[in-house]
């Protein structure tokens, strides 16, 4: 593998044409051919991707410590500066291509703080994103651990997976409780029903509040998971929470025609205008007027109830 990598490094001097994606196509092809000729695997433990990842990480770390010390390796400019390189320490980090052993450089006064592979860091960010994605798809910690072991050959404990997902939950809680603006021109509120696994899969309402700020930007104020069906009583709890987070006044709240919802809005913000959503308004009209004829033309069926209403153009 070392000979193969050296051959690729020497080939850089030829300066072949770059591909559209910015990669050196000739070097990539040469690397693949050398790997096949030596019977090396591209993926898996000891594969080419792991070796390349190791080289890239260590090169980046060398650049970091050179920037920290102010001179390159073996540069005479570093003499008498008071700090210098002090060997390396090996650590294994979990990456998208599996576990990779990396030699992290050190300095004599221990002031070097690497960013690419930070101290006590055992996973690169891509692994955390992978775990979060699998958890979002409904996999348990055991299933995620088995998946990583089977696909990437990486042993990740259930506790580590729980730690990763808990960080996301902490961030969500912080976002959910963040302070809000004192005034919003418009707030849209509605509930959507999604399937949620909580012991068993069931339909649960997700209450959504989306606002338009005074600067004209859209801002999701929060998401709340309800217990049963959508109800005005729970909406009163949601709107009260928004007020407690700093929303003192709202010009208009756009919502559906849920019974009691208008009263809940007035209870929290007495001067706020309650506007029925146009989509919900059309749905209500459709239920009451299933057949509509405009200008005496042929009626079009909009619903399944009996009866008809004719609307003629002026």
One digit per residue, pLDDT tens: the chain, 314 residues?
Answer: 444 445 444 544 444 444 434 456 776 677 677 767 776 666 666 666 777 777 877 888 888 888 888 888 877 777 777 788 888 888 888 776 677 888 888 888 888 888 777 787 777 766 677 777 777 777 788 888 887 777 666 667 777 778 777 777 777 888 888 999 999 999 999 988 888 777 777 888 889 999 999 999 999 999 988 877 667 888 999 999 999 999 999 999 998 888 888 999 999 999 999 988 777 677 767 777 655 555 555 555 444 444 444 444 43
pTM above 0.75, yes or no: no
Residue position matching structure tokens 């050179």: 66
Q: Which residues have a Cβ under 8 Å from the Cβ of 240 and sit 6 or more positions away?
A: 268
Report the DSSP pairing between strands 98-107 and 183-198. unpaired
Q: Which residues have a Cβ under 8 Å from the Cβ of 301 and sit 6 or more positions away?
A: 290, 291
Cα–Cα distance list, 62 to 7, 107, 112 (Å): 21, 11, 11
């Amino acid at each position: 593998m070392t000979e193969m990598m050296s051959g690729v490094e020497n080939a850089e001097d030829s300066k072949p044409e770059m591909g559209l994606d910015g990669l050196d196509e000739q070097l990539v092809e040469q690397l693949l051919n050398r790997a096949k000729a030596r019977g090396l695997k591209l993926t898996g433990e000891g594969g080419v991707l792991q070796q390349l990842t190791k080289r890239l990480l260590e090169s980046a770390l060398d650049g970091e410590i050179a920037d920290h010390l102010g001179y390159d390796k073996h540069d005479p400019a570093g003499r008498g500066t008071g700090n210098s390189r002090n060997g390396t320490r090996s650590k294994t980090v979990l990456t998208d291509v599996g576990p990779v052993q990396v030699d992290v450089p050190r300095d004599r006064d221990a002031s070097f703080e690497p960013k690419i592979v930070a101290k006590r860091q055992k996973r690169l960010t891509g692994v955390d994103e992978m775990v979060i994605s699998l958890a979002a798809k409904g996999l348990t910690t055991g299933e995620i651990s088995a998946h990583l072991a089977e696909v990437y050959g990486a042993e990740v404990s259930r506790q580590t997976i729980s730690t990763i997902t808990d960080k996301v939950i902490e961030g969500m809680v912080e976002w959910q409780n963040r302070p809000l603006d004192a005034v919003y021109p418009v707030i849209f509120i509605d509930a959507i029903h999604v399937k949620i696994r909580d012991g068993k899969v069931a339909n649960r309402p997700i209450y959504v509040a989306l606002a338009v700020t005074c600067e004209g930007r859209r801002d999701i104020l929060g998401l709340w998971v309800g217990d049963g069906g959508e109800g005005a009583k729970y909406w009163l709890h949601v709107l009260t929470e928004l007020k407690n987070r700093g929303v003192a006044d709202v010009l208009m709240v756009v919502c559906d025609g849920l019974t009691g919802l208008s009263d809940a809005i007035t209870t929290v913000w007495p001067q706020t205008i309650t506007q029925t959503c146009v989509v919900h308004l059309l749905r209500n009209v459709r239920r009451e007027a299933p057949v509509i004829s405009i200008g005496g033309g042929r009626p079009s069926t909009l619903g399944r109830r009996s009866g008809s209403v004719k609307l003629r153009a002026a």
